[in-house]
Amino acid sequence: MRSILSVCALGAFAALATAQIPIVIPNGSGTAAGNTSNAFPWGASAAGWPGLRLMCIYDASNFTSQGINQPVVITRLRWRPDNNAGAVAGGTFQQADVRLSTAPTDYTSLTTNFATNHGPDLTTVYSGSVVHTATLGSAAWTVNSWCVDINLTTPFTYDPSAGDLVIDCDYPGGTNFTGAVGQMDVQGAGSFAGRIWASAAYPTANGSQLDHGVVVEVTCNPASGYATAQTYGAGCVDDYASFHELFAANTFDLANSSVQMVPTGSGYITLPGNNLWWTPVGASLGLTDDSVSAALPLGFTLTYPGGSTTNVYASSNGFVWAQSNTNNGCCNGDPAALRTLGARWCPLWNDLNPSLGGTIVWDQDPANGAAYLTYTSVPEYGTSNPNTFQVAFFASGIVEMRWQACTITTHSTLVGWSPGANNRSRNSIDISASLPILTGPDAFGLAHNTSARPVLGTSLSLLTTNVPGNTTIGATLLGLVEVTNGIDLSGFGMPGCRQYLNIDSNAIWFPAGGVGTTALNIPTGNWLVGVAIRSQGATLTPGINPLGALSSNGLRLTLDVN
């Protein structure tokens, strides 16, 4: 412990850099579109109602899972349109109020009584006019297409450890709004959020709904006088059973290419394909809009990660189930549903409509131990845009997804694979730029965090978790200098691992139950206020990689009095 305290002493004059921290909630929405939409809060003029009020309650995990584990001061809120919404001219709400508070109960216990959902720290953070800027529509949509931007006139201090965050938007109806607005981006399933709204019954609530989180960017600063603990970087050997890329309209870039998913015994390694094409010879399956085929016999047993099958089932919306399933996947690719439902391959999960044209054909090819599902010139719903793509299944277990001309202008599209059953998936990745992609059984990389914020005069534990069972020994590394992006350790025999600090000290531990623990006693003394210490976990784990060693994410600890 003496060596750790000497690190604190050496850093007595290190100052906390107060930086703006943008957090997009619900978690995961910063890199991908939400999976549904709604007009509330800023996509409705409310002209036909006495007013509109939308209260959203976001579980604290939407913050803590993004490294916000300490009090922060919220200074700005931004909302964005739905990725499938059309262009709008925008306009102005002459008067609107935005209120924030910490919910007194978990979001799952929300009620239709607005007042009881607010905590005692209820604050009107903004009152005045709100501008909805013009938007260009789905063709130009990105995750940064913010259309409503409010700098709070009264900043709000939020502590995720104290409860869930309430964002409450309220404005009059009638002639309060001039202009034109459209649908807002929303994360439904997987949002860990809920809403209460008032429209026709305003100011009384019309209803409530769980699994509904309007996408909001929350800009915040570390709260003055509060000790902070923030993670950065990622542990190595963080394996996922699933992968996907979610394309906004007009961004699909896999046309005239292919990828080959080769079984490894525990997952797939996805590589560039050979761009072969089977010319379909069978009859059309007769699929209609939002339909699923009967069993399509492969002619062999296909073994895939997590199971095996002799039949597959095609959805008219551009994906293939490994087992019988009537879910047709209408109407856009949904990352949350990809992970939670059954095993499926998704060459072009979109809202397709074979009722308007094109064919979907199933062919067996016994001579080559193969079977093919081919979508030829199947249009996107509501358009005449043709899309031609194919999935080839081989008795060896290889699955190849192939694309010819594909034109997607209206809906989001998902390409990927998942064994379902609540397996994890990376955030949306650029498939064409990320090959090879390796999947395997879900395995979390080493994670490093603290049991409490580093408040002066307290004791805490630095915890390294997800430690593999065959680990022999571990260490908590400490230093004053942060390497934010990490030093690549691949050259030392640790592929995918990074060093996130300059090492000034270390504490050895032996894992127990998959956890390594280092005690840290923090003395009192105002001279320590603002001292920043970095820490990271490391293990010796034979056979995990050529060196037999792993590293965790980094942890930034800033000492303070509260």
pLDDT (average), residues 79-93: 95
- The pLDDT, as a whole number, for residue 441 is 78
For 115-132, how does the pLDDT look when each residue is reduced to its tens digit (9 = 90+)?
A: 999 999 999 999 999 999
Provide the pLDDT confidence category of residue 239 given band limits of 50, 70 and 90: low
Those residues whose C-beta lies under 8 Å from the C-beta of residue 89, and which sit 6 or more positions away, are 134, 179, 180
Residue with the larger pLDDT of the pair 356 and 421: 356
Under the banding of pLDDT at 50, 70 and 90, the label for residue 4 is very low
Mean pLDDT of 48-53: 98
Quick check: 8 pLDDT over 60?
Answer: no
65 or 316, higher pLDDT: 316
Distance CA 280, CA 511 (A): 57
Burial of 355 (0-12, 13-18, 19+ CB in 10 A): middle
What percent of the chain stands above pLDDT 70?
Answer: 96
Which pLDDT tens digit goes with each residue over 198-215? 999 999 999 999 999 999
pLDDT single digits (tens) 135-162: 999 888 999 999 999 999 999 999 999 9
Whether pLDDT at 2 is above 80: no
- Label residue 239 exposed, middle or buried (CB < 10 Å: 0-12, 13-18, 19+): middle
- The CA-atom distances, in angstroms, between 469 and each of 239, 240, 296, 465 are 16, 19, 42, 11
- The 3-state secondary structure of 236-285 reads CCCECCEEEEEECCCCCCCCCEEEEEEECCCCEEEEECCCCCCCCCCCEC
Instruction: Assess whether pLDDT exceeds 80 at residue 47.
Output: yes
Task: Answer whether residue 7 shows pLDDT above 50.
Answer: no
Under the banding of pLDDT at 50, 70 and 90, the label for residue 16 is: very low
Angle at 178 between CA 172 and CA 183, to 5 degrees: 80
Q: State residue 5's pLDDT score.
A: 35
| CATH 2.60.40.1930 boundaries in the chain | 229-235+444-558
Give 320-373 pLDDT, tens digit per residue: 999 999 999 988 888 888 988 899 999 999 999 999 999 999 999 999 999 999
Cis bond upstream, residue 331 (ω within 30) = yes
Q: Which of 299, 300, 337 is nearest to 319 (CA)?
A: 337
Render 147-164 in DSSP notation, one character per residue.
-EEEEEEEEEEE-GGG--
In this prediction, residues 221-237 reach a mean pLDDT of 85
Query: Mean per-residue pLDDT for 230-239?
Result: 82
- Provide CATH code, domain 229-235+444-558: 2.60.40.1930
pLDDT computed for residue 14 by the predictor:
33
pLDDT at position 19 is 55
The pLDDT tens digits for 369-420 are 999 999 999 999 999 999 999 999 999 999 999 999 999 988 889 999 999 8
pTM of the model: 0.60
Mean pLDDT of 2-24: 47
Confidence of residue 228 (pLDDT cuts 50, 70, 90): confident
